[in-house]
């Protein structure tokens, strides 16, 4: 890490440990190629690598653990049920034998002995049944615990580890849902948001401050979207917001609320309390239309976003704004 001028932050240690251990093929391939080519490890590259490789690896390991736990529970239950089946069979045989003996001429002492044996066998069966019930209850609790862990894994696989909002995978799924909602006659809009001059913050204040900026913007997005909407980190310093049941005019209004919320937050250096300045974002807004592809909606929103960048930043442009037409990406 020292040779590559990588900041010794915990998240970077995790990346380079995975590289050194060879436990993550994706990390090994990318870092190995960059080291060989002597390419610089920018904060953006490191962040993207963590997003693409480590969160998926953690989820995969967690899934393996859950799968192993479920297999162990099932095996244990099958063994206990097999044992219970043998005990039930033995008890049935005991009852059948007693039924046969009842037909014979027996003395009172023999009858007493037969009744005592039946009582003993019945009590033993009751005890084994209670034991089985307890073990099945315990197995049920274990399965419930594993189900909770599985829900946690699923949530983690759809969450950006840095900002805590939805990740690209969840965003893609939300876009698919948006297309279905459009087919049912619902208004659906998409915002594409980008942090203005993000590279400048990273270069001036370091990667940790850059992470703080990303979290600040993510919090503003989360605070200004409602239940069915999805705010996600699209990649790097770019975010996407899917708005369900929202017209283009209303979506532009929501986007401007988000823009003002971000602008109103002060970036404070945690270690010193110094105010480092304000953050601004540019936002492009597009509305889903019948016959659209997901790619087409994203392209329109991106055109609006780049139009906002080129028109001065810290603004919202909708797809009907002429400044959004046929524009190419500009610098952040």
Give the active site residues.
237
Closest CA to 276 of 221, 209, 219, 203: 209
Distance from C-alpha of 269 to C-alpha of 181, rounded to nearest angstrom: 42
Residues facing 244 on adjacent strands: 188
Contacts for 134-139: CB closer than 8 Å, 24+ residues apart: 135/76, 135/77, 135/80, 136/77, 136/80, 139/73, 139/76, 139/77
Tokens coding 224: 């200004």
Q: What are phi and psi of 266, to 5 degrees?
A: -95, 135
Closest CA to 54 of 20, 26, 21: 26
Tell me the three state secondary structure of residue 284.
Answer: strand
Distance from C-alpha of 28 to C-alpha of 20, rounded to nearest angstrom: 8
Residue 215 exposed, middle or buried by CB count within 10 Å (0-12, 13-18, 19+): middle
């Amino acid at each position: 890490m020292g040779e590559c001028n990588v900041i010794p932050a915990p998240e970077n240690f995790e990346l380079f440990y995975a590289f050194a251990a060879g436990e993550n093929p994706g990390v090994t391939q990318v870092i190995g190629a960059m080291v060989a080519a002597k390419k610089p490890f920018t904060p953006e590259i490191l962040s993207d690598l963590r997003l693409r490789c480590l969160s998926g690896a953690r989820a995969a390991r967690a899934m393996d653990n859950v799968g192993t736990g479920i297999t162990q529970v099932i095996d244990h239950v099958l063994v206990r049920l097999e044992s219970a089946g043998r005990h039930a069979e033995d008890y049935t045989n005991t009852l059948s034998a007693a039924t046969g003996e009842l037909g014979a001429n027996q003395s009172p002492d023999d009858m007493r002995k037969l009744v005592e044996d039946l009582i003993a066998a019945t009590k033993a069966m009751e005890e084994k049944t209670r034991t089985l019930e307890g073990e099945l209850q315990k197995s049920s609790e274990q399965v419930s615990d594993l189900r909770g862990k599985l829900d946690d894994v699923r949530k983690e696989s759809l969450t950006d580890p840095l900002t805590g909002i939805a990740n690209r995978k969840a965003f893609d799924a939300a876009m698919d849902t948006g297309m279905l909602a459009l087919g049912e006659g619902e208004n659906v809009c998409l915002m594409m948001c980008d942090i203005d001059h993000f590279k400048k913050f990273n270069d001036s204040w370091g990667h940790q401050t850059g992470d703080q900026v990303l979290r600040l913007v993510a919090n503003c997005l989360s605070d200004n979207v409602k239940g069915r909407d999805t705010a996600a980190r699209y990649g790097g310093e770019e975010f996407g917001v899917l708005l369900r049941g929202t017209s283009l005019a209303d979506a532009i209004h929501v986007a401007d609320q988000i823009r003002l919320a971000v602008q109103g937050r002060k970036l404070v250096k945690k270690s010193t309390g110094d105010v480092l300045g304000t953050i601004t974002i540019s936002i492009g807004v597009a509305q889903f239309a019948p016959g659209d592809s997901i790619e087409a909606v994203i392209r329109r929103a991106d055109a609006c976003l780049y139009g906002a960048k080129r028109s001065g930043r810290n603004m919202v442009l909708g797809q009907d704004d002429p400044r959004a037409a046929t524009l190419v990406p500009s610098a952040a």
